[in-house]
A and B are shown apart, each in its own frame.
Chain A
């Protein structure tokens, strides 16, 4: 059985080995410069005045006292930055500072730059804003019930931001083939990234008209475009440097209002301007997990084969668009990537509410539907009297196949992953066989290794790498990737070192500087290792060609016979004959002149050809399976997760110890979502966040974190560099449903809502004791008129990936 490649990664010298990270020493000695660690001469400090009301028109802003406040150098209002922006071209709905209206508590209204933070804070307090209050919308149902007042003047209608409807195949036929049909409703509460680093940025505007912004962003490229647009500067005069990011998890993907504000203030004052958000402000920046209400109708046969699935989601977007349209797609598009689903229909509705805007958090839009699907699989198994693992294994998606919704699946190691966690957890002897209060639960998932489409439409590379080599022997790698702790800088060094036969620490990695490094789209969608890694392979192979040609001439052997290893270039047929790597570079520099190469990567074309088919395709999908073991106290409802066994099919690890770290971190974050994390508001009290602090927003400490047993399945993926797939997001997804399924095994109640808090468990236990259904979760599902779906026949039905052209509807009398 293929599996963990361990230390024997098939002849590779660097890839597959547990090297230290190239930035490990810096990070362990406090030398890494995060954005807030930058102090520039004459630097001013910025503070934002934020809305104290959830929904209001701005009647008047009086900043006259702030301007006169001691130490103040500039005051900025919304009218000074009147250009709308947003990360997605379809959602240009944000102002850097509110212009005429605020849409949430925390919306920035004005900004001050002053000599120090205290002076800026004092000045901000002196700004008076008169609001004309509007009714606020605090939930999905309220958004549907109250089309007026609209939070935004765009979108579908009322407070419905976006509706999407897809039908893959003949649903009627699909449900008719089923022996059973069941419909389940569940809710996944929103939660937030909670990076330890508070967002920060520093702007400098030089007198030659050029702007430099250091920012804690994950996506310098999109921020670069936004700054140029909103500030009215040529993009070539804007330089964004993404500082090492002190935790991102998706929360630093959007271009933020404070990035724009400090840039503008630097332009106004001619001095550097810094902002570092308070923790409370970070909560209001959010862009995290959308609360999603889901109803899934699934038709299945006696053996569990799914003939049809109609999956519906209502997505609480908060106050702005952000990534939300993509997030909404993600609440449905990846459902068919794990088990065969004959026909698939997906309806998604995103609404605006007067809460902090939601967006991409680790797993972007997919943990919620994966929870719905994996809990339902457990229920289907129960209904059929089948083992839930057997049910899943019997109906796995085939490798090298195309799903009902036109996603191309390459390698899939899910079956092996399931076997691993079953074996590890002692499933056969323990599932449904443990004493009351103890349980095991299984869940699986798949995730993209990079989004197949850029956020704005273009046909250019998604990632570029430049290499510089010179007679010193140093190889410098330039790439726009952003190090957010996942090890992307190290990954570039490992890959280039592997190709050139040198040590990764012989390499200087220069990243995330839009002036200096080639474009990489950013650290999101688990795209970096595959996309930048492939670009790095190409650049390094081209450099290797130069060196090989020059060395071949010197050694008088064909270039194809040269090996690169251990800092040498040598004749593969007589390895003693060779030159050092430095000599090889000297020879090449002599022969070709100054050496430099480039590499770039573009994902393969997706098989779907219908509108909206750009969301979901990926060069490769990672897979994983998890078993959670829980203790549930039937008296208190307290859930303790003892251990999670996780098997992850991430292809060949570029560095296994870093992959382990990603898997463990994903399990941790999934555990927090499963048990305790929730981004909730006081709907009846001004829609303020219930607890915008790290003490009260519960996240797992060392005392709540469970034991973890990780298995890495390292079958190589042809589309990945050296066979790698993603690791940083996928392993989060099965954790919440595995915990929910384990709770059912332990105490026989279904908690169809995340987080699974003691209150909910206890309620379900009590209703069960009364002879009612032992369940906690939503009972009703809102109605919303949907547009006619985009209808695409499935590959099995002989479709060609295109939507069916509709005949105009003729009304029948």
Chain B
């Protein structure tokens, strides 16, 4: 079967019952997509299909021929990180880093639709992605920071985000 992953066509052979999560990780070596439950409960395995977040553990790969699949490996453009990736690094928004790929891609989909989301919109968009390390705070701040930078503002993390309140 031919899959379109991160803008490239790839011929992949796999058992027809395999989920997108399994094919990406096991047959294509794209282990950047993680899994936390394999039951569609935690959002860890989210990838983009035609720009929309999809839980790859619930997606049947054979149904995805001709669709544009984006994984975390396809997020950076060449040597340049996506502004979301840079903002996550700036704010330590990836602690253990395990939920990070799914959250980054979900946030990317949000910013495509809503370039300057409110906090509530960020919370709604990420409500299906569990993170046990950060309490989500640094993630919100990183999404806001990336959105500002993508809008062309020379934004830096807020002092309170980095050092706490005086």
Residues of chain A touching chain B, judged by Cβ–Cβ distance below 8 Å, are 3-7, 18, 20-21, 23-34, 36-37, 39, 193-198, 244-249, 278-279, 424, 484-487, 655-658, 660-661, 663-669, 671, 693-695, 699, 701-703, 705, 708-712
- Which residues on A sit within 8 Å (CB–CB) of B138? 657, 660-661, 664
Per the 8 Å Cβ criterion, residues 36-79 of B in contact with A are: 36-39, 41-42, 44, 71-73, 75-76
Residues on A with C-beta less than 8 A from B81 are: 25, 28-29
Q: Is the CB of A197 within 8 A of B36?
A: yes
Docked pose: A217 CA to B86 CA in angstroms: 29
Q: A193-B132, A279-B36, A701-B127 are in contact. Are A485 and B162 (CB under 8 A)?
A: no
Interface members, chain B 1-45 (any A CB < 8 Å): 25-26, 29-39, 41-42, 44
Q: How far is the CA of A246 from the CA of B94 in the complex (A)?
A: 11
Quick one: which of A197, A248, A660, A699 contacts B164, CB cutoff 8 A? A660
Chain B nearest CB: distance from A695 CB in Å?
4
CB-based contact A195/B132 at 8 Å? yes
Q: Are the C-beta atoms of B92 and A711 separated by less than 8 Å?
A: no
CA distance A21 to B35 in the complex (A): 23
Question: Is B88's CB under 8 angstroms from A279's CB?
Answer: no
Contacts of B29 in A (CB 8 A): 39
A695 CB contacts on chain B under 8 angstroms = 39, 41
A727 to chain B, nearest CB (A): 11
Interface residue B155 (Cβ < 8 Å from any Cβ of A) = no
When the two chains form their complex, are residues B135 and A29 in contact, meaning their CB atoms are under 8 A apart? no
Q: Contacts A196-B42, A710-B164 hold; do A703 and B127 have CB atoms under 8 A apart?
A: yes
Task: Return the CB mask of B73-99 against A: 1 if under 8 Å, else 0.
Answer: 101100001000110111111111111
- Extra A-B contacts (20), CB below 8 Å, given A29-B76, A661-B134, A666-B135: A6-B163, A18-B92, A28-B100, A29-B85, A30-B30, A30-B71, A30-B100, A37-B25, A37-B31, A39-B29, A194-B132, A247-B133, A485-B97, A655-B92, A657-B91, A657-B157, A663-B164, A665-B134, A695-B41, A708-B135
- The answer on a CB contact under 8 Å between A656 and B164 is yes
Which residue in B38, B72, B96, B137 is a CB contact (below 8 Å) of A279? B38
- Min CB gap B127→A, angstroms: 5
Q: Residues on B close to A: CB < 8 A?
A: 25-26, 29-39, 41-42, 44, 71-73, 75-76, 81, 85-86, 88-101, 104, 122-124, 126-138, 140, 157, 159, 161-166
Partner of B98, one of A39, A246, A703: A246
15 pairs of residues in contact across A and B, judged by CB atoms under 8 Å:
A3-B166, A6-B159, A18-B90, A25-B85, A196-B36, A246-B97, A656-B164, A661-B92, A661-B93, A664-B135, A665-B95, A668-B137, A671-B135, A701-B128, A702-B122
Q: Which A residues touch B135, using CB under 8 A?
A: 664-669, 671, 705, 708
Please name all residues of chain A whose beta carbon is closer than 8 Å to the beta carbon of B42 when the two chains form the complex.
Answer: 196, 694
Output the least CB separation between A459 and chain B (Å): 33
Give bound CA distance, A486 to B96, whole Å. Answer: 7
**What is the distance, in angstroms, from B113's C-beta to the closest C-beta of chain A?**
17
Q: Chain B's nearest CB lies how many Å from the CB of A498?
A: 18
The SS class assigned to the B binding surface is: loop
Q: Are B34 and A197 in contact (CB under 8 A)?
A: yes
Is the CB–CB distance between A29 and B39 below 8 Å?
A: no
Asked whether A23 lies within 8 Å of B41 as measured between CB atoms, the reply is: no
In the complex, chain B residues whose CB is within 8 Å of the CB of A656: 162-164
Question: Which B residues are CB-close (under 8 A) to A484?
Answer: 96
Q: How far is the CA of A695 from the CA of B57 in the complex (A)?
A: 15
Contacts A27-B100, A657-B157, A694-B41; A21 near B136 (Cβ below 8 A): no
Q: Check if A4 sits within 8 Å of B39, measured CB to CB.
A: no
Complex contact B130–A701 (CB within 8 A): yes
Partner of A244, one of B88, B97, B159: B97
Write the nearest CB–CB distance from B13 to chain A, whole angstroms: 15
Contact indicator B157/A18 (Cβ below 8 Å): yes
* A24-B89, A25-B81, A712-B164 as given contacts; A33 in contact with B94, CB under 8 Å: no
CA distance A198 to B21 in the complex (A): 15
The distance from the CB of A623 to the nearest CB of chain B, in whole angstroms, is 15
Return A301 CB to nearest CB of chain B, in Å: 35
Closest B residue, CB atoms, query A9: B163
Contacts of A279 in B (CB 8 A): 36-39, 41
Q: Is B34 a contact partner of A34 (Cβ separation < 8 A)?
A: yes
A197 touches B92 (CB 8 A): no
Which 5 pairs, one residue from A and one from B, show the smallest C-beta to C-beta distance?
Answer: A30-B32, A668-B135, A485-B96, A27-B97, A246-B98
Interchain CB contact under 8 A, A661 and B164: no
Q: How far is it, in angstroms, between the C-alpha of A701 and the C-alpha of B88 when the chains are bound?
A: 19
Known: A29-B73, A656-B162, A702-B126. A196 touches B94 (CB 8 A): no
Contact of B72 among A30, A196, A245, A661 (CB under 8 A): A30
Are A31 and B165 touching (Cβ within 8 A)? no
Q: Is the CB of B96 within 8 A of A246?
A: yes
Contacting pair A710 B165 (CB below 8 A): yes
A196 to B133, CA, bound (A): 9
Other-chain residue from A3, A24, A665, A702 in contact with B94 (beta carbon distance below 8 A): A24
A667 contacts across to B, CB distance below 8 A: 135
A667 to B164, CA, bound (A): 14
**Closest residue of B by beta carbon distance from A30:** B32
Contacts of A247 in B (CB 8 A): 96, 98, 132-133
Chain B residue, CB-CB nearest to A248: B96
Closest chain A residue to B96 by CB distance?
A485
Given the known inter-chain contacts A3-B166, A693-B39, please indicate yes or no for A661 contacting B89, CB distance below 8 A: no
Provide the bound-state CA to CA distance between A30 and B44, in Å.
Answer: 12
Residues of A contacting B159 with CB < 8 Å?
Answer: 6
- Residue contact A28 to B163, C-beta cutoff 8 Å: no
**Which B residue sits closest to A486, measured CB to CB?**
B95
The complex places the Cα of A494 from the Cα of B140 at a distance, in Å, of 26
CB distance from A466 to the nearest CB of B (A): 26
CB distance from A443 to the nearest CB of B (A): 18
Q: List residues of chain B with CB within 8 A of the CB of A712.
A: 163-164
Q: How far is the CB of B118 from chain A (nearest CB, A)?
A: 13
Q: Which residues of A contact B89 (CB under 8 A)?
A: 20-21, 24-25, 28
A20: B residues at CB distance < 8 A: 89-90, 92
Could you tell me the distance between the alpha carbons of A33 and B166 in the complex, rounded to whole angstroms? 38
Which residues of B sit under 8 angstroms from A26, Cβ to Cβ?
97
Given contacts A7-B163, A701-B130, contact A24 B36 (CB under 8 A): no
Min Cβ gap B130→A in Å is 6
Q: Given contacts A195-B132, A693-B39, are A18 and B162 in contact (CB under 8 A)?
A: yes
The reply to whether B98 and A197 form a contact with Cβ atoms under 8 Å apart is: yes
Give complex CA distance A714, B93 in Å.
22
Q: What is the bound-complex CA distance between A151 and B22, given in angstroms?
A: 40
Residue in A24, A249, A669, A703 whose beta carbon sits within 8 Å of that of B92 in the complex: A24
User: Which residues in B have their C-beta under 8 angstroms from that of A3?
Assistant: 166
Q: Which residues of A contact B44 (CB under 8 A)?
A: 196
Determine which of A18, A30, A485, A666 lies in contact with B31 in the assembled complex, contact meaning CB atoms within 8 Å. A30
Query: Which B residue's beta carbon lies closest to that of A484?
Result: B96
| Distance of B70 from chain A, by nearest CB (Å) | 12
B68 to chain A, nearest CB (A): 18
Residues in A whose Cβ lies below 8 Å from that of B86:
28
| Nearest chain B residue, comparing its CB with the CB of A246 | B98
From B38, B76, B90, give the contact of A278 (CB < 8 A). Answer: B38
Q: In the complex where A701-B130, A708-B135 touch, is A197 in contact with B96 (Cβ < 8 A)?
A: yes
Give chain A residues whose Cβ lies under 8 Å from the Cβ of B25: 37
Give the residues in chain A near B88, CB-CB below 8 Å.
24, 28
Q: Which A residues touch B35, using CB under 8 A?
A: 36, 198
User: Quick check: B165 and A694 within 8 Å, CB to CB?
Assistant: no
CB-based contact A657/B92 at 8 Å: yes
Task: A265 to B3: give the CA distance in the assembly, Å.
Answer: 36
Inter-chain contact A196/B132, CB cutoff 8 Å: yes
Q: Verify B130–A4 contact, CB threshold 8 A.
A: no
The interface residues of chain A lying within 8 Å CB-to-CB of B31 are 30, 33, 36-37, 39
Q: Which residue of B lies closest to A666 (CB)?
A: B135
- Please measure, in the bound complex, the distance between the C-alpha atom of A143 and the C-alpha atom of B58, giving whole angstroms: 42
Query: CB-nearest residue of chain B relative to A245?
Result: B96
Smallest distance from the beta carbon of B138 to chain A beta carbons, Å?
Answer: 5
Contact (Cβ within 8 A) A246 B32: no
Contact B39 A485 (CB under 8 A): no
